[in-house]
Amino acid sequence: MPATPDTTVIAQKAVDLIAPDTVVGLGTGAAATQFIHALGARVQAGLQVRGIPTSDASAALARQLGIPLVTFDDVEAIDVCVDGADEVDLAGDLIKGYGGALLREKVVAAFSRKLVILVGPGKTVPALGTRGTLPVEVVPFALTPARRRIAKLGFDPQQRMKDGKPYVTDNGNFILDCKTGPLRDAAATDLALHAVPGVAGTGLFIKMAHTVMIQEGDKVEVRRGGAPE
């Protein structure tokens, strides 16, 4: 497997965006983990924030670092969500879900006032789907018919496995890794997949990112709504 890209520089820059007394969405994956570590250090130094995690793993890490956690029952909205992505296109649209938390990530992102995405080299693409995989979360009852329907849409859906067993998300669902190429219309694809009964969520995050930070070595490119600053 390729080495995990170093995104510590953008993780620190993202923490600089976090104001006191705000609610922060805590993403999942390598870049989000580095951000949570950076945020935890600020919390230990006196910064007061509350977090809503996108996965059990992120929740466990946040507790370990002393970041107070809340639920949607406790707050009206999330001020800013900081997460990673598996693909970012020129418009700032995303594919997420290689780490398996796509559904909760989308929920937290959708109820956040701002979504800040942190990526290292190799994650920027000319069109979504370039890296060849689009994760789709499916409820277990619908696995077989949903896989058949998705195949008719032109994808090659393969059930994700882990240690020889079906991978199960924190929601108790399965993931179909749909083999694909560059998508002509990612928004239309997202709608078509969501129309399949049993699909709980897709890895397509269309027009959701407010800011994308891209780290190349020690240099950081910041894009707002897909356009470089």
Residues 183, 130: contact at Cβ < 8 Å? no
Q: 2 in a domain, yes or no? A: no
pLDDT at residue 172 in the model: 98
- The model carries a pTM of 0.93
My answer on whether 61 and 102 are in the same domain is yes
pLDDT at residue 7 in the model: 77
State the helix-helix crossing angle for 8-15 and 30-44, rounded to 10 degrees: 50
pLDDT at residue 178 in the model: 98
My answer on whether 162 and 98 are in the same domain is no
My answer on whether 117 and 143 are in the same domain is no
My answer on whether 115 and 20 are in the same domain is yes
Mean pLDDT to the nearest integer, 36-51 = 98
Could you tell me which of 180, 164, 176 has the C-alpha nearest to residue 202? 176
pLDDT at residue 71 in the model: 97
Q: 47 in a domain, yes or no? A: yes
My answer on whether 13 and 79 are in the same domain is yes
Mean pLDDT to the nearest integer, 220-225 = 85
Q: 32 in a domain, yes or no? A: yes
My answer on whether 174 and 102 are in the same domain is no
Q: 3 in a domain, yes or no? A: no
My answer on whether 99 and 141 are in the same domain is no
My answer on whether 43 and 112 are in the same domain is yes
pLDDT at residue 228 in the model: 59
Whether residue 40 has pLDDT greater than 70: yes
Alpha helices in the chain (DSSP H): 8-15, 30-44, 56-65, 102-110, 143-152, 186-194
Q: Using DSSP, state whether 121 is helix, strand or coil.
A: coil
Q: Cα 131 to chain center, whole Å?
A: 16
Other C-beta atoms lying within 10 Å of the C-beta of residue 71: 8
Residues 51, 69: contact at Cβ < 8 Å? yes
My answer on whether 104 and 19 are in the same domain is yes
pLDDT at residue 96 in the model: 98
My answer on whether 47 and 71 are in the same domain is yes
Model confidence at 3, pLDDT cuts 50, 70, 90, reads very low
pLDDT at residue 1 in the model: 36
pLDDT tens digit sequence for 165-220: 999 999 999 999 999 999 999 999 999 999 999 999 999 999 999 999 999 888 88
pLDDT at residue 204 in the model: 98
My answer on whether 110 and 41 are in the same domain is yes
Mean pLDDT to the nearest integer, 75-100 = 96
Q: 74 in a domain, yes or no? A: yes
Catalytic residue among 105, 137, 221, 229: 105
- For 171, the domain range is 133-200
Model confidence at 227, pLDDT cuts 50, 70, 90, reads low
| Average pLDDT over all residues of the chain | 94
Mean pLDDT to the nearest integer, 98-119 = 97
Pick 8 or 226 by higher pLDDT: 8
Q: 31 in a domain, yes or no? A: yes
My answer on whether 146 and 173 are in the same domain is yes
Could you tell me which of 106, 82, 111 has the C-alpha nearest to residue 95? 106
pLDDT tens digit sequence for 138-160: 999 999 999 999 999 999 999 99
Q: Is 137 a catalytic residue?
A: no
Q: 28 in a domain, yes or no? A: yes
Tokens of 127: 């069109």
Q: Quote the number of domains for the chain.
A: 2
Question: What's the CATH code of the domain at 177?
Answer: 3.30.70.260
